[in-house]
Amino acid sequence: MPGVDGTRYPLHEPGGQRWQAAVTAARAELAADGCCVLRGFIRPELLGTLRSEGAALAPHAYYTVQDVNAYNIPLDTQLPEDHPGRIVLRRGNAFVARDLIPRQALIHQLYTDTRFQRFVADCFGLTELHEYTDPLAGLCLNVVAPGNSHPWHFDTNEFTVSMLTQEPEDGGVFEYCPNIRSREAENLADVRAVLTGGGERFIRRLELRPGDLQLFQGRFSLHRVAPVAGAVQRHSAIFAYSDTPGLIGTAERTRQLFGRVLPDHLAVGEIRGDQLLD
Ligand SMILES: O=C(O)CCC(=O)C(=O)O
Ligand SMILES: [Fe+2]
């Protein structure tokens, strides 16, 4: 298993006793607040490789600073006066797309490993888990440079798997508001409170370390990477999966994230399971 601490996370023994124990613990954390951190998922002796592979990729990220809102809908969308979607945020994170990440890189090996996928699916309680068909968005390195942040947002995808590969010197904390909205309700007043600085009661903060694996249900939990400080970039690998096969992003969203599109993006629309904004 590429780099994984097989003693704590025996992915090579699917269904075994220790495997079940790890899955049960992860499920309990996810049920409690939509987030679970599997500490020390990568073996300590590989943390240097994890970091340096990401650092070599970071210069290839698509760097832009964009004005966005928490729902990632166009800023000129007609919304009521007090709608939190009217609050403009500055997005300063940059993504390295999947087609630039070498197949032998630790994060690429993990993303495509069927035992890893089986384990993650079970933690989320899913019978199926599929890599994106999208040639750019399935696996990314998220780069947040000093002075920038990845502002408050909801994910389009219900299940997100990520891993810090390089820690910033200061700041860059992952903050999230567990289940601040649901499939049925946007809870706009609560979201607004967080975006305007009065929502401390909703916010939790994670102490992530490189090599920890984070499982997260980001469609319902508003979250951000707080501004990074110091001299070192924050790098995280984003492993995107779906319970439906064939997922490809729209051309518009792809251009926004990666600065380019491929023929696949021009050919298909996006599959969406609910009617929430974003
Ligand atoms: O980089 C992270 O830790 C979180 C990234 C994130 O929220 C996202 O890519 O949607
Ligand atoms: Fe996110």
Residue 76: pLDDT over 80? yes
User: Three-state SS string across the chain, please?
Assistant: CCCECCCCCCCCCCCCHHHHHHHHHHHHHHHHHCEEEECCCECHHHHHHHHHHHHHHHHHCECCCEEECCCCCCCCCCCCCCCHHHCCEEECEEEECHHHCCCCCHHHHHHHCHHHHHHHHHHHCCCCCEECCCCCCCEEEEEECCCCCEEEECCCCCCEEEEEEECCCEECCEEEECCCCCCCCCCHHHHHHHHCCCCHHHCEEECCCCCCEEEECCCCCEEEECCEECCCCEEEEEEEEECCCCCCCCHHHHHHHHCCCCHHHHHCCCCCCCCCCC
CATH of domain 17-268: 2.60.120.620
- For ligand 1, say whether the CB of 156 is within 6 Å of any of its atoms: no
> What pLDDT band is residue 21 in, cutting at 50, 70 and 90?
very high
Give 248-273 pLDDT, tens digit per residue. 888 888 998 999 999 999 887 545 55
pLDDT for 253 equals 85
Give 105-132 pLDDT, tens digit per residue. 999 999 999 999 999 999 999 999 999 9
- For ligand 1, say whether the CB of 234 is within 6 Å of any of its atoms: no
Ligand 1 atom at shortest distance from the alpha carbon of 214: 3
How many Å lie between the centroid of ligand 1 and the Cα of residue 68? Answer: 15
pTM over 0.75: yes
Question: Residue ranges of the domains in the chain?
Answer: 17-268
- For ligand 1, say whether the CB of 159 is within 6 Å of any of its atoms: no
Ligand 1 atom at shortest distance from the alpha carbon of 95: 9
